[in-house]
């Protein structure tokens, strides 16, 4: 395993891991994946706020996507009842276009 901090990297064994981790070194396995982070690290408030805002935006989009999926499922049920072939349509706008095309061809 390796201990890395900045441009320093040392090969260590398990008995040294705690001491290097306490010194702020990240501990990596032989593949280079971090298995433990060094202690005493901080994040600037600006970085924290940027990540927090991004997380809130992702959560909001996640709710919108869930709502969209419910609408898509409902539209698919209606299409099945009416005998409308949706083909590969998988979005609300795509499905609505299929409904419109169906109506234009003399559907119900």
C-alpha 71/C-alpha 75 separation (Å) is 6
Task: Domain of residue 52: give its range.
Answer: 45-104
Our CA angle for 81, 85, 89, nearest 5°, is 110
Residues 6+ positions from 91 with CB-CB distance below 8 Å: 68, 72
Q: Are residues 61 and 97 in the same domain?
A: yes
**pLDDT (mean) for 44-73:** 84
pTM of the model: 0.46
Q: Same structural domain for residues 96 and 49?
A: yes
**Pair 98, 61 in one domain:** yes
93 and 61 both lie in a single domain: yes
76 and 28, same domain (yes or no): no
Mark whether 6 and 55 lie in a shared domain.
no
Same domain, 29 and 65: no
Q: Which tens digits make up the pLDDT trace of 56-66?
A: 888 887 767 77
Is residue 75 pLDDT above 60, yes or no? yes
Tell me the two tokens of residue 58: 């992702």
How many CA atoms are closer than 13 Å to the CA of 101, on its beta-carbon side?
13
> Which stretches of 1-108 are DSSP H helices?
14-22, 45-82, 92-104
């Amino acid at each position: 395993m390796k201990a890395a901090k900045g441009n320093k990297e040392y090969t260590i064994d398990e008995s040294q891991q705690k001491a290097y981790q306490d010194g702020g070194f990240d501990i990596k396995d032989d593949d280079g994946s971090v298995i433990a982070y060094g202690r005493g690290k901080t994040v600037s408030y600006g970085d924290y706020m940027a990540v927090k805002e991004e997380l809130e935006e992702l959560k909001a989009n996640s709710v919108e996507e869930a709502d969209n999926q419910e609408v898509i499922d409902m539209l698919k049920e209606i299409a099945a009842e009416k005998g409308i072939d949706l083909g590969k349509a998988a979005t609300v706008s795509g499905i609505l276009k299929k409904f419109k095309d169906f109506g234009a061809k003399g559907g119900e």
